[in-house]
Amino acid sequence: MVEIGHFIGGRRVAGRSGRSAEFFKPMTGEVQGTVALASAEEVRQAVLDAAAAQPAWAAQNPQRRARVLIRFLDLVRKEFDSLAEMLALEHGKTIPDARGDIQRGIDVVEFAIGVPHLMKGEFTEGAGPAIDMYSMRQPLGVVAGITPFNFPAMIPMWKFAPAIACGNAFILKPSERDPGVPMRLAELMIEAGLPAGILNVVNGDKVAVDAILDDPDIRAVGFVGSSAIAEYVYGRAATRGKRVHCFGGAKNHMVIMPDADMDQAADALIGAGYGSAGERCMAVSVAVPVGERTADRLIERLVPRIENLKIGPSTDPDADFGPLVTRQHLQKVKDYVEIGVKEGAELLVDGRGFSLQGYENGFYMGACLFDRVTRDMRIYREEIFGPVLSVVRAQSYDEALALVSDHEYGNGTAIFTRDGDAARDFASKVQVGMVGVNVPIPVPLAYYTFGGWKRSAFGDLNQYGPDSIRFYTKTKTVTTRWPSGIRKGAEFAMPTS
């Protein structure tokens, strides 16, 4: 059985709190190992270690910091297959999906390598009589990231790569449900030449989270998880004077117009709704066909596709999706399906009884499809985070647009249509942070930025892209004047140009 502690001072260390948690192999239900749960004192030690190392790292020029990330990328690529296998076995997603998890993290590391350009300030010659002005971006110091179970490689890299590139030291608190990959990524950063202490990993639960939020030396905190916890993290950290951005839950809609290619739309819904067993914050969980005929045509295509999905162990190369992350989460998703039935939604495909021969103890669930879901139902209002797709029928484009915009979550949305006017209008008016046009999962590329609206995000800066550089740096503006041989005496009025 594997025992995982923490990564502090450039090496793995055993936990000292006396508390630990089991983590599982979702495809079999077996316990894989235990992970230490840090005490507040252990978190503090990691912060002190980071604070001691950070000034020398910040003093390195940005190009030298970028070179560490370049070497890190080489090491990750060499271990790509083993990292994907470790990730799949701990999380439950298929190995091809795990490879995508790692690759989308790599994309952000590649963006962060451009930090010598991204951190450049501005300069104005002659801003006033013999006065020049310039600005510079400087690191914050010690920063932290609290990341979720569903992307144990991607989101840690989204957090620590730009932070470290900017000259900060980073405290990572990953999910205790699948801790192996974040620990290995930290080791690879050290192998790439990162000084000890610049990236520390503390595993833990709420005790570790609260210690991070309260620590006086942590200047910024990034979080990804449920909206309830995101709001808690944002409020507690912000009241302690920290810079915070938190990304929460989602209920992503896909609008299908009457002129859409129905086969394309159905395939997009299947992949976006059931990929990774629906455990994605950008999963499409609501289909909104416009018009009864559109809805009927869509259902005709969805049902046979869903019934033919292949659910299998993470190691099955032909599996469309694998098990859910824990037995508790599996039961939670099944409970939501039962709620939907009681609320009066039509359950067209019921995957709750799925069992995989030879893997009967695994955390598997078949795909579920609801039709005639209404906006007052809990299965519509709340995030399920499982392989459950709801169809909400809209009678007009305006009704569909309002449905998406009125929901309390505003992470991602999509419209499928051949009509350029409808697509342009939707992209302009919909009250959601990320929009796809004939693209079901509109996760922006690394040189843009990722972030939702409303209760999907707390804070005014998004993840990765240019916003990450702004988040992990502070701006200093310098006004200079050199003596010109002319003295005017003391000036008491507010300076003007």
The predicted-structure confidence for 275-326, as pLDDT tens digits, reads as follows 999 999 999 999 999 999 999 999 999 999 999 999 999 999 999 999 999 9
The answer to whether residue 187 scores a pLDDT higher than 90 is: yes
Closest residue by Cα to residue 90 from 174, 163, 6, 210: 174
402-415: per-residue pLDDT in tens? 999 999 999 999 99
Cβ(142)–Cβ(168) below 8 Å: yes
Measured distance CA(164)–CA(182) in Å, rounded = 15
Reduced to 3 states (helix: H, G, I; strand: E, B; else coil), residue 397 is helix
The answer to whether residue 497 scores a pLDDT higher than 70 is: no
Nearest 5 degrees, angle CA 119-CA 124-CA 125?
135
Whole-model pTM: value is: 0.94
E strand segments, 350-451 = 368-371, 388-391, 409-410, 412-416, 434-437
Is 166 part of the annotated catalytic residue set? no
Alpha carbon dihedral 48, 7, 69, 81, in 10-degree steps, equals -170
Q: Which of 166, 246, 281, 368 is flagged as catalytic?
A: 281
Structure tokens at 332: 């939670």
Complete edge-to-edge strand list for the sheet that includes strand 434-437: 346-349, 368-371, 388-391, 284-289, 252-256, 412-416, 434-437
Measured distance CA(369)–CA(400) in Å, rounded = 19
For residue 456, the model assigns a pLDDT of: 95
Domains of the chain: 2-248+456-478 (3.40.605.10), 252-437 (3.40.309.10)
Task: Give mean pLDDT, residues 369-386.
Answer: 97
Measured distance CA(341)–CA(16) in Å, rounded = 47
Cβ(244)–Cβ(282) below 8 Å: no
